[in-house]
């Protein structure tokens, strides 16, 4: 327990509260006008310590700049390219706005206004990434008991607008490969194997298995800023990707005269082939223009590989393994438009099975208005029924009457129900007519 002691000031007597924090360091708070106020504060401190909810006032004054720098240094599990993007977003959008703000001074309304302001200047991807960095820093502050709750959580984010995918046909891929000249085999590998650019540029001669027609993806060469970083593939998992038999001669020519450790598609200087961004730049843009194709990027060849694989009959799991996605769900999310035809096939197959049933046969004989052709038959004399339907009629005339009129109009339904009611013991014509018309019988 802490203590409450008085002390004198020029403005009169005040009270001081001394207590120990959960780490056993002693601290105090001064300036209480009455002893009761001081005792209530001390009681609240002891209760918060017992519940594990104690917030250190000194820790709550820590600025976001210090917490953000510490958070970034703890993201060592990320690949260099991902970490580079986070550092850039922190430097350009998060630190200028929140760097000098104490963690305890951040309000939910302030974060919401910041997100709205950013949304007017940048795309949804940048806004979501910047918000995610701030929210993650505040999550750590909550766990460290600097603040009781994360004020950034619950802010609505702008929606991403996915750019429509560009899919090339087999003939368009062939024209593009011919226009690429010596790099034509690389275009074919990208369009038929679905490798990422860094994975294709990182292929070595020893990664090609001609006997099984496989490319072993073991490394990834990515340009991070101005530095080329060579590491593991994006998901940190190596994979084996098949290539069509028709590509074997082109890949064999790319391997000719090279050692196993040499790059399969080297740059002009013999090092990794670098990706050139922007329209009007580089060998790929020149090949696209020469082939007469619409503007597209190297990554569109990866989309093309998924499209051609689906058209050839590949299932979702096979496409996922080829592309190196973390899960089949991710493949469906990215390429959901490629599987629209599957829904039509499902409906057609269900229709075949439904047509074999009694209900399907009955509906198949319905007239354009949706009323069965047998609706004009008397409800108490059903025809063309199975033995099971006749037994149902004997035991429950209302159910069989409703069954025979698959989609009756109002008048047909009332006639059917009236016929069923007439067969009930004790039924009178007045009662039956009243039930059919929806009114009560007279006295």
**Is 80 exceeded by the pLDDT of residue 378?**
no
What pLDDT score was predicted for residue 373?
A: 47
Which residues face 227 on adjacent strands?
224
How far apart are alpha carbons 289 and 413 in whole angstroms?
A: 68
User: pTM here?
Assistant: 0.66
How far apart are alpha carbons 173 and 190 in whole angstroms?
A: 10
What pLDDT score was predicted for residue 354?
A: 75
Give the residue with greater pLDDT, 264 vs 17. Answer: 264
pLDDT, one tens digit per residue, over 246-259 is 999 999 999 999 99
> DSSP states of 175-208 as a string?
HHHHHTGGGHHHHHHHHHH---HHHHHT-BGGGE
What pLDDT score was predicted for residue 410?
A: 47
How far apart are alpha carbons 290 and 292 in whole angstroms?
A: 5
Average pLDDT score, the chain: 82
Q: Which range in 30-34, 57-61, 114-118 is most confidently predicted, on average pLDDT?
A: 114-118
Give the residue with greater pLDDT, 399 vs 304. Answer: 304
Span 83-102, mean pLDDT?
95
Backbone angles phi, psi at 406, to 5 degrees: -60, -45
User: Residue 42's Cα: distance from chain center in Å?
Assistant: 48
Handedness of CA 235, 239, 242, 248 (dihedral sign): positive
H or E element in which residue 223 lies: strand 220-224
| pLDDT-based confidence at residue 196 (cuts at 50, 70, 90) | very high
pLDDT, one tens digit per residue, over 203-233 is 999 999 999 999 999 999 888 887 888 888 8
| pLDDT-based confidence at residue 343 (cuts at 50, 70, 90) | low
pLDDT, one tens digit per residue, over 70-91 is 999 999 888 888 999 999 999 9
């Amino acid at each position: 327990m802490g203590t409450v002691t008085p002390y004198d000031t020029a403005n009169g007597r005040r009270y001081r509260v001394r207590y120990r924090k959960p780490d056993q360091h002693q601290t105090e708070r001064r300036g209480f006008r009455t002893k009761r106020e001081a005792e209530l504060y001390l009681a609240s401190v002891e209760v918060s310590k017992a519940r594990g909810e104690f917030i250190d006032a000194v820790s709550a004054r820590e600025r976001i700049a210090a917490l953000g720098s510490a958070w970034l240094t703890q993201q060592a599990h990320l690949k260099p390219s991902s970490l580079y993007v986070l550092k850039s977003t922190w430097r350009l959008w998060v630190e200028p706005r929140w760097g000098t703000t104490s963690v305890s001074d951040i309000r939910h309304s302030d974060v919401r206004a910041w997100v709205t302001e950013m949304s007017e200047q940048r795309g949804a991807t940048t806004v979501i990434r910047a918000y995610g960095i701030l929210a993650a820093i505040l999550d750590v502050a909550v766990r460290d008991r600097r603040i009781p709750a994360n004020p950034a959580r619950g802010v609505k984010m702008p929606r991403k607008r996915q750019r429509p995918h560009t899919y090339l046909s087999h003939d368009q891929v062939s024209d593009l490969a011919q226009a690429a000249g010596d790099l034509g085999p690389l275009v074919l590998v990208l369009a038929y194997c679905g490798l990422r650019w860094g994975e294709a540029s990182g292929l070595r001669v020893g990664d090609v298995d001609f006997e099984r027609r496989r490319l072993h993806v073991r490394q990834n060469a990515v340009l991070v800023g101005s530095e080329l970083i060579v590491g593991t593939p994006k998901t940190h998992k190596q994979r084996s990707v098949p290539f069509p038999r028709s590509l074997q001669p082109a890949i064999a020519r790319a391997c000719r005269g090279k050692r196993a450790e040499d790059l399969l598609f080297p740059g002009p200087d013999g090092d990794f082939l670098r990706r050139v961004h922007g329209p009007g730049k580089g060998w790929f843009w020149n090949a696209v223009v020469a082939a007469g194709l619409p503007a597209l990027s190297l990554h569109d060849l990866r989309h093309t590989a998924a499209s051609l694989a689906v058209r050839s009959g590949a299932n979702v799991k096979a496409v996922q393994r080829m592309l190196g996605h973390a899960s089949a769900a991710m493949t469906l999310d990215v390429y959901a438009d490629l599987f629209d035809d599957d829904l039509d096939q499902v409906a057609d197959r269900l229709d075949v099975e439904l047509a074999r049933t009694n209900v399907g046969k009955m509906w198949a004989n319905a007239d354009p208005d949706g009323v069965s052709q047998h609706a004009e038959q008397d409800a108490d004399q059903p025809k063309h029924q199975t033995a099971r339907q006749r037994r149902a009629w004997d035991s429950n005339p209302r159910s069989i009457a409703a069954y025979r009129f698959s989609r009756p109009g109002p008048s047909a339904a009332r006639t059917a129900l009236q016929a069923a009611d007439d067969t009930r013991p004790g039924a009178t014509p007045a009662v039956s007519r009243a039930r059919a018309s929806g009114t009560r019988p007279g006295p």
